Every structure is written in C-alpha cells, then in structure tokens.
Amino acid sequence: MSASKFRVVPFDKNFDRTTFNCGSEALDRYFQQQVSQEIRRRVTACFVVLTQDQMIAGYYTIAATSVPLTGLPPDIAKKLPRYPLVPAVRMGRLAVDHSFKGLGLGSALLADALHRAFLSDIAAYAMLVDAKDDEAAAFYQHHGFITLPDSPLSLFLPLATASGF
Ligand SMILES: CC(C)(COP(=O)(O)OP(=O)(O)OC[C@H]1O[C@@H](n2cnc3c(N)ncnc32)[C@H](O)[C@@H]1OP(=O)(O)O)[C@@H](O)C(=O)NCCC(=O)NCCS
C-alpha cells in the first residue's frame, strides 16, 4: 500500500458508505447499516482505509474477546497458564471494495489491526478471525494464521509472532 495514496483512520459516520461494494452483500450491509450503532454501543471499533479523495476503499472491525484454552492447539495451549479463557482480540470483519482489490489493502488493514492490538496496553495473546468461507480462510492462512482445531473457519495468530507485521 502506497502511504501517499491511502491512509487508515478511525470510522466516522459522515464518510460516504453508500457505494461500498466488496462483493459480499452481508459485509456491505453491515458496514452501511449496522456498524455505526455497534460503535456507539461500544461492542466494536472500526477502522477504514481512505483514498486521497476520501473514498472508502476498505474497512475492518476489532473488539475484545477470549478463546477457551482447550480450543487452542495442544502444543500452544501447554505453554500458556492454566486459565480457562485466553485473552484475545477479534477482527470481526475485513473487507476491501472491489475496485481496490489486489493492491495490498487487505494485507495493510490486517497489519494495521495487528499493530493496534500489539501496541495496546491491554494484554491479548492472539488475534482471532472468523473467516466467512474457505477463500477468506485461505487469505488469513496466507498471512500466517492458524486454524483452530475444532472450527476450520476460525483462525488465530499469536500477537508475539505478529510483531514483525
Ligand atoms: C479478502 C480480501 C480482504 C483481500 O483483500 P485484497 O486487498 O484484495 O488483498 P491484498 O491485495 O491485500 O492481498 C495480499 C496478499 O494476500 C493474497 N490473497 C488475497 N486473497 C487471497 C485468498 N483468498 N487466498 C489466499 N491468498 C490471498 C494475495 O495474493 C496477496 O499475496 P502476496 O502479498 O503474497 O502477493 C478481499 O478480497 C475482500 O474484501 N473479500 C471479500 C470479503 C472477505 O472475504 N473478507 C475476509 C474476511 S471474512
């Protein structure tokens, strides 16, 4: 992503979302109709990538979550303290408008989310994502995410390994 052409900023309800089209109706509808209310209720945060002329090229949402220790792969779980829940950050949604696909914006948004989670004063062991289908799961795997043993569309990345993003 060229730093001069795009910038990632917190969501603002005054941005024009009406024409956003990532190819997934559910992700478009959520962004156009629901995200504002969820931000107001503090159940999610949202960041968008803007073009120089303020067009929204993509967005992601991020919120606190946890994962059961027993849900992690055993070789990872055995290195963690025996608390039942492991603190994590969930990237709930990630979408890039179809006219900006393949430019590296999906990776840049993912890196931005990992960076914010990594720098937070509030500890989280990993970032979790729920892929909407196998293609989305492949995108996350391409970026080093590991599938949770019991749910193939849920993936995680320990934030310690993501520090180089
Ligand atoms: C998935 C999505 C966010 C990717 O965004 P994008 O900006 O087109 O992707 P990028 O240009 O950043 O791709 C970066 C890298 O990921 C790879 N990649 C992209 N989509 C991929 C996929 N489905 N599977 C595997 N790798 C993928 C690219 O080849 C590229 O690899 P490289 O850096 O080694 O060259 C976008 O296609 C999208 O919005 N899809 C619809 C919504 C969706 O599926 N969201 C996922 C969360 S549910």
pLDDT of residue 49: 98
Q: How confident is the model at residue 162 (pLDDT cuts 50, 70, 90)?
A: confident
Ligand 1 atom nearest the C-alpha of 95 is 39
Phi, psi angles (nearest 5°) of residue 144: 95, 0
CA of 1 to the centre of ligand 1 (A): 13
pLDDT at 1 over 70: no
What residues does ligand 1 touch, defined as CB less than 6 Å away? 22-24, 27, 94-96, 101-107, 131-132, 135-136, 138-139, 142
Task: Output the CA 141–ligand 1 centroid distance in Å.
Answer: 10
Instruction: Write out 121-141 in H/E/C secondary structure.
Output: CCCCCEEEEECCCHHHHHHHH
Bridge partner list, 50: 7, 56
Q: Write the pLDDT tens digit of every residue in 55-113.
A: 999 999 999 999 999 999 999 999 999 999 999 999 999 999 999 999 999 999 999 99
Q: What is the pTM of this model?
A: 0.95
d(CA 30, CA 12) in angstroms, rounded, equals: 15
pLDDT bucket at 27, cuts 50 / 70 / 90: very high
